[in-house]
Structure 1
Amino acid sequence: MYVILVYDIGEKRVGKMLKHCRKYLNWIQNSVFEGEITEVKLKELLAGARKIMDEARDSVIIFKSRDAKWLVREIVGVERMTTDNFL
C-alpha cells in the first residue's frame, strides 16, 4: 500500500520520530513522509511511534491508498526531498 504519514510531535521528541519514520518511508518535508509499505511494516512503524510519542499531546496521521498512481501530487514552491532517484 502507499501511505502519506504526517506527525505533530513535541519538540523534544521530533528528532527521534524523524529518525524512526525514515527507516520505513521517504522523508519529503518537515514531519511528512510518503512511500510504499506493507501492512506488517506499517504496524511496526506505528508501534515504534507510540513508544516515542506522548499520545495525550502528539499525533500521527496516515493517509492510505492502494497505489501511488491514484494520488495527484502538486508541489508549489521548493520541493524539500525528491523521490525521483528511487526505483
Structure 2
Amino acid sequence: MQKQLIQQVSKAMQANADTIARQKEIIDHQEQSIERLKRLLTALAETQDKELKALPSMFDALETSLSKHTKEQQAWWSHRKQYTEGQIIIAEQ
C-alpha cells in the first residue's frame, strides 16, 4: 500500500514537474514574441519618424513640380489659342 502511495506521489510530482517545464517553455516563447514585437514596433516608429521628417521636402518638391507643370500647361494653352486664332484669320481670308 505504501509503495503504491509513493508511486502515485512520484507520478504526481513528475506530472507537476512536466507541467512546470511546459509553462516555462510557454513563458520563454512569449518573452521571445514580446521582444520580437518590441523590435518590430521600434523599427516601425523609426521608419515613420523618417517619413514624417521627409514630408516637408517632399511637399516642396511636389509644389515645385506642380508649379512647373501648371506653367507649361498655360504656355501650351496660350500657344494653342494663338494657333487657333491664326487658323481662323487664314480661313477668313
For the superposition of Structure 1 and Structure 2, which TM-score range results when normalised by the shorter chain? under 0.3
Greater Rg, structure 1 or structure 2?
A: 2
* TM-score, length basis structure 2: 0.19
* Larger helix percent: 2
Specify which structure has the higher proportion of strand: 1
Compute the TM-score of the two structures, normalised by the length of structure 1. Answer: 0.20
Ranked by relative contact order (alpha carbons within 8 Å, sequence separation 6 or more), the top structure is: 1
